[in-house]
Structure 1
């Protein structure tokens, strides 16, 4: 695989932003167009975080997908309560920039979105809100119920340790207080109910058997919600915790799912 960095002035964010674009070994700027998978990082990550997965190169080359790695820090890739517009940045700028600069299948049928934890949740939010852009979702341990969180359900786990999970203060800076319009707007269960069925999606989601009990619970609830709404999906619980070792171990399944469902031109 080959990794390129694309940088431009973002009108949505109000400063220069960069994304990493990962090209499979057989990529060519002419001829057959390539499907694209957007992979979103976890809380506090950046555009390099997915690159720490030691098997990423192998699966990218085998699948023949272009992989795009944007970043939003701790902002959940949404238009948040502080006015930061990372959703606009992703769907209005990043996709257009990638389709304009690379040999992509520039349609929903050739475009998927995935992520880990924060990124897995954000991937589903964006696919439900923008079915005209994405047809496939791939989530590792998605933190789907972030808009529904009240207080700090992880406080007993902190015990002086640094967790890659937002404190109440950090969480409410993005989502606003309980009952806020931002929380209502991104409630995934509401989005499932109100989705535009003109744009069907397929979802891959998994979670580690040693993950936080709350994380396992919300992934099971999302599985059940997808079933209730007749959204095609594949759900798995497999060994691992809430970390990038778990993510790396699941890369072959994730990429096989995406590759089998994304259109090649």
Structure 2
């Protein structure tokens, strides 16, 4: 595998943005692990961080590079700050960056990446789980499979819980008046109800049984099932931590339709 760190300019955000990238590279080593390479139509996983992370956190806290070594899969890990993958009320358009500009940048810099929906995926943890599911619901034409690990998926219904993490001014700076989140383009439950199941990607949702966000995941899965979505839910012992995420990202990689 090749591991790259890129500092790219976002015209949408009007600032430099960091990316970590894992690309397939054929290697034959005397010691260590040989890896599988490919030079065209490479499947791609956009892997999103949570509130306390950045572009580097998946690489530092898990063995993601080793896990994908023989998959022929590219992994794009962007830094998106604390903006919840949303076009914020403070005029920083992180949704537009992640949903529209980032794929364009990646295809410009790495033309071997696939442009096919069937080979394009997104996953994320916590805040990034919200971002990944949002990508699947608002850009279903671009993604074949979406995964959420311990996602904060019910911001409208669970705002009281989120207010214990950050104050009202933070959340209103991102989403606007809290009373207006429900039924908006940032409300995943609203999006689930208004997307035809046949148009949606397939989903994999997991959350630790000791995680405060477990109910958020089970409620979201229930709403997806009511609408006829292709959604898999698995949980197990675990909290909101890297022990859980390092284990379950391996299960998600096995689940991807490669």
C-alpha separation in 2, matches of 1:182 and 1:91? 21
1:136–1:198 distance in 2 versus 1, CA, 3 Å: same
Report how far residue 199 of structure 1 moved.
3.0
- Residue 168 of structure 1: CA displacement? 3.1
In 1, are the aligned partners of 2:197 and 2:228 still within 8 Å (CA)? no
Corresponding residue for residue 30 of structure 2:
none
Q: Which runs of 5+ in 1 are unaligned?
A: 156-164
RMSD: 2.1
User: What SS class does the counterpart of residue 254 from structure 1 fall into?
Assistant: helix
Matching residue of 2:255: 257
Cα deviation for residue 149 of structure 1 reads: 3.9
Aligned equivalent of 1:62:
70
1:183 to 1:176, Cα distance in 2 relative to 1, 3 A: farther
**CA deviation vs aligned residue, 1:153-208 (integer Å, no higher than 9, x gap):** 564xxxxxxxxx43333222212222236971211111112225563310011000
Moved more, 242-251 or 174-183: 174-183
Match runs of 1:156-167 below 5 Å: 165-167=165-167
1:38 equivalent in alignment to 2:46:
yes
Unaligned residue ranges in structure 2 (runs of 5+) = 27-35
**Could you tell me whether the CA contact under 8 Å between 1:148 and 1:178 is conserved in 2?**
no
**CA pair 118-111 structure 1, distance change in 2 beyond 3 A:** same
| Maintained 8 Å contact 2:41/2:114 | yes
| 1:221 corresponds to | 219
Would the aligned equivalents of 1:189 and 1:225 in 2 still touch at CA under 8 Å?
A: yes
* C-alpha distance in structure 2 between counterparts of 1:57 and 1:132, whole Å: 28
Under a length normalisation based on structure 2, what TM-score does the superposition of the two structures give?
0.88
| Cα separation, partners in 2 of 1:147 and 1:62, compared to 1, 3 Å | farther
Instruction: Tell me which residue corresponds to 2:171.
Output: 171
What is the TM-score with the length of structure 1 in the denominator? 0.86
1:90 to 95, 98, 108: 98
Distance 1:197 1:93, change over 3 A: same
Tell me how far 1:66 sits from its aligned partner.
0.3
* Structure 1 residue aligned with 2:59: 51
